[in-house]
Structure 1
């Protein structure tokens, strides 16, 4: 082992020791968030708890209510650090800004059944570990700032997308977060997604005495549902359309004048999503035409993008995770199966980053009551802190090797160009098909 490699190993161990030293207060932080689940954009107690946590730590500059009411930012920079994003990380004034993200919103009815309390803990732990190493290094290839962003509303609304729009991610060079799961994985397929609400307006009438006077909004909703079911034959195998009828009427003897449906539309990439949306919208509107109803089609403010992968960061994370004893899944059904969607996907189109998944000591599935219990169980702590250590180790690999940093940036640029070409190709195909 070369001298440089020995130093890197020692620094990684030092980061791990700092995280272990803080494990009691990190556990307390996670438990407090878990014990008081709050829904999207309403995470006030969790926000205040995280803000207080970083204000109690020496050296952090903390901005409460950063860009959004329940978002925050905590930053630390080594003495003598300059400002701004470093283009190549090699000039004397360059600063590489490393971001760790904390999520902390819960699910309605089942609390922290996606383990976002553990995501917050991982982000906080990783930030403490990296700071502890950097503040004791006399010379680095680059100067570094550590930024923690508290990002609300992942489960509903897309808080990170709001924060991107407000400029919260400007100046970041790398971004890390990790998500609880039932296995360790450097990556699971996260797809592009857009929510849509469809509202049909008809006319009430007595359903038995004079039904011919009514305009049945429930018929429109049923036709809409069936239209989408028929569309599935012409959908690509990896497209997903799933939804519910949220309001179907008031009473059987009243022809419904109002119905409402909610659907999620998903495709593997954001380039394909406009094609599926256009097909689905024809299903929505044709149901209104057939029944004589008026229709409102309301797409959500934020569209979730697919994840832009970074192979360099994934390889480093897996190597570090294995060194810590992680057993990464090799199950092809898990690794290739289209899973959910996350607003972190949008972040990866702005900043190079990774979003690995980590085992928490339970085989329960996310979004279940069993997983909520697992996320609050003490057994999750070992796996959560191990994940934070792997993220810090990965950050140190990149920060201490300018060639790796350049590779990460190059892969990010190439992946974005490929996605842009795919987007152009899909739009061209859609225009040709509509002629």
Structure 2
């Protein structure tokens, strides 16, 4: 693996300037979930212009997703009947956050996926090794669960393993929380708030009551559980009894089983508020993000590589955020390292802040992204090249999955 590792490292370094340009273009024109059209086209144009040897599938299963595929077969190599090329997958995320742009660093995740994919492909060619690389462009991570939809469409079925990276103010390769989002609509009846409030049915009261119900519930929740949300009005005025309100609510827990229990209790809070106020209640439950579980051997080997090559230490602590990549880790062996980029104050400028938006376009963040991409590329190459390693990873993952 030493020669392959050297090829991967050198190749990623050669991509430095063009990926920096790519990242800054993406950062300058953020697009929210399901609307990543310009970002989608940026990827397609990049591969068409610079990497025509890849099979490019735009709009893969949905408008803003894509799939890039690369295969290498040594000259004279004949595939046996039913044989499948060893395959590693990588993910590039696309969406930004409303109002604050790439405050979760998806521009960095994007180039991390490109760098790792191209580097492994280059190593397969240079060292004449049979294998396949897939890069998926996955929309709507922040809300919507693009990877869940892609899983349902079979986008991951050919992969032996999958990897992606994610920036934060800290470095960890531990677990992440499961999450589900509820979109709750209360419908009441408007009336004049001064002359005839008794003729109205107050949808704002229902939302406020639900909020307070959940606030009381928090006392009985485990410390690792998170529940939070916002109330939205629709054509509200101070002299009108509100006839419509909406609540967007998120529930997080350490695993999908506990999440479902808390979700049921939170749903009761919403239903009770509708009953108490006389409002009709509609609950639209979005696809749940599973807790993220890094495959043990891949995670340990990634952390060891980053320590030995760059003296970077990765903790194994859980990070109290969530991602739809959690569902991927339940579908196949996968890793999702969280790597640190510099911010002015980690307490106030972490992910989902304007400070992190600024940090995500710095030269320092770019360099650290390429190092993290090198780490997952090395692990991805091992999955493709080393049959024994690939089988061990799969066996460990299957044993873990059987206990869930």
Q: TM-score, normalised by structure 1?
A: 0.86
Secondary structure at the aligned position of 1:314 is classed as helix
Counterpart secondary structure, 2:399: helix
Task: Please tell me whether residue 69 in structure 1 is matched to residue 63 in structure 2.
Answer: yes
Alignment of 1:55-94 (within 5 A): 55=48, 56-79=50-73, 93-94=83-84
Shift of 1:12: 0.4
Of residues 233, 236, 245, the one that matches 1:250 is 236
Match of 2:366 in 1: 381
Which of the residues 165, 179, 182 maps onto 1:178? 165
Cα deviations across residues 290-312 of structure 1 (Å, max 9, x unaligned)? 12221111112x21111123110
Q: Which consecutive aligned stretches of 4+ in structure 1 deviate over 4 angstroms post-superposition? A: 80-84
Preserved contact between residue 303 and residue 314 of structure 2 (Cα < 8 Å): no
Is the CA contact 1:309–1:415 (under 8 Å) kept in the aligned structure 2? no
Kept in 2, the 8 Å contact 1:190–1:342? The answer is yes
> Which residue is 1:131 aligned to?
121
User: Secondary structure, in 3 states, of the residue corresponding to 2:143?
Assistant: coil
Cα shift at 1:235: 2.1
Q: Secondary structure at the match of 2:302?
A: helix
Structure 1 residue 245: deviation in Å? Answer: 1.1
Q: How does 1:160-175 map to 2 (within 5 A)?
A: 160-175=147-162
Match of 1:24 in 2: 17
**1 CA distance for matches of 2:78 and 2:340?**
38
**1:344 deviation in Å?**
0.4
SS at match of 1:272: helix
User: Is the counterpart of residue 115 in structure 1 residue 115 in structure 2?
Assistant: no
Alignment partners' CA distance in 2, 1:314 and 1:159: 24
Per-residue CA shift, 1:154-203, capped at 9, x if unaligned?
1121111111111111211110100011122223x311111112222222
Give yes or no for the alignment of 1:341 onto 2:334. Answer: no
**Equivalent of residue 266 in structure 2, options 270, 275, 280:** 280
2:246 matches 1:260: yes
* Of 189-198 and 392-401, the range deviating more from structure 2: 392-401
What is the correspondence of 1:340-359 to structure 2 with a 5 Å cutoff? 340-359=321-340
* Equivalent position to 1:10, from 3, 24, 45: 3
* Higher mean C-alpha deviation, range 382-391 or range 204-213: 204-213
CA–CA separation in structure 1 for the residues paired with 2:379 and 2:29: 32
> Could you list the per-position Cα deviations for residues 102-161 of structure 1 after superposition, in whole angstroms to 9, with x for gaps in the alignment?
1121111111111111111111111111111111224x5xx3101111111111211111
1:68-99 residue CA offsets vs partner (Å, 9 max, x unmatched): 11111111111257789xxxxxx993411100
Match of 2:210 in 1: 224
- Provide the residue aligned with 2:47 in structure 1: 54
Decide whether the 8 Å contact of 2:173 with 2:314 is kept in 1: no
- Go from structure 1 to structure 2 and tell me whether the alpha carbon gap of 1:147 and 1:244 turns closer, same or farther (over 3 Å shift): same
Contact kept? 2:294, 2:336, Cα under 8 Å: no
1:148 to 135, 142, 164: 135
Match of residue 406, structure 1, among 375, 381, 391: 391
Q: Distance in 1 between matches of 2:138 and 2:45?
A: 16
Structure 2 unaligned residues grouped into runs of 5+: none
Identify the range of structure 1 (356-365 vs 273-282) with the bigger mean alpha-carbon deviation.
356-365
Alignment of 1:285-324 (within 5 A): 285-300=271-286, 302-324=287-309
Q: Distance in 1 between matches of 2:207 and 2:353?
A: 29
Instruction: Give the whole-Å Cα distance in 2 for the aligned partners of 1:145 and 1:341.
Output: 29
Q: Distance in 2 between matches of 1:377 and 1:107?
A: 18
Match of 1:428 in 2: none
Q: Matched residue of 1:135: which SS?
A: helix
Of 241-250 and 402-411, more deviation after overlay is shown by 241-250
Aligned equivalents of 2:46, 2:331: Cα separation in 1? 28
Q: Which piece of structure 1 moves more, 57-66 or 199-208? A: 199-208
User: How many pairs are equivalent?
Assistant: 397
Counterparts of 2:366 and 2:272, CA distance in 1: 52
In structure 1, runs of 5+ residues without a counterpart are 1-7, 85-90, 420-435
Distance 1:93 1:216, change over 3 A: closer
Structure 2 distance, partners of 1:92, 1:66, is 25
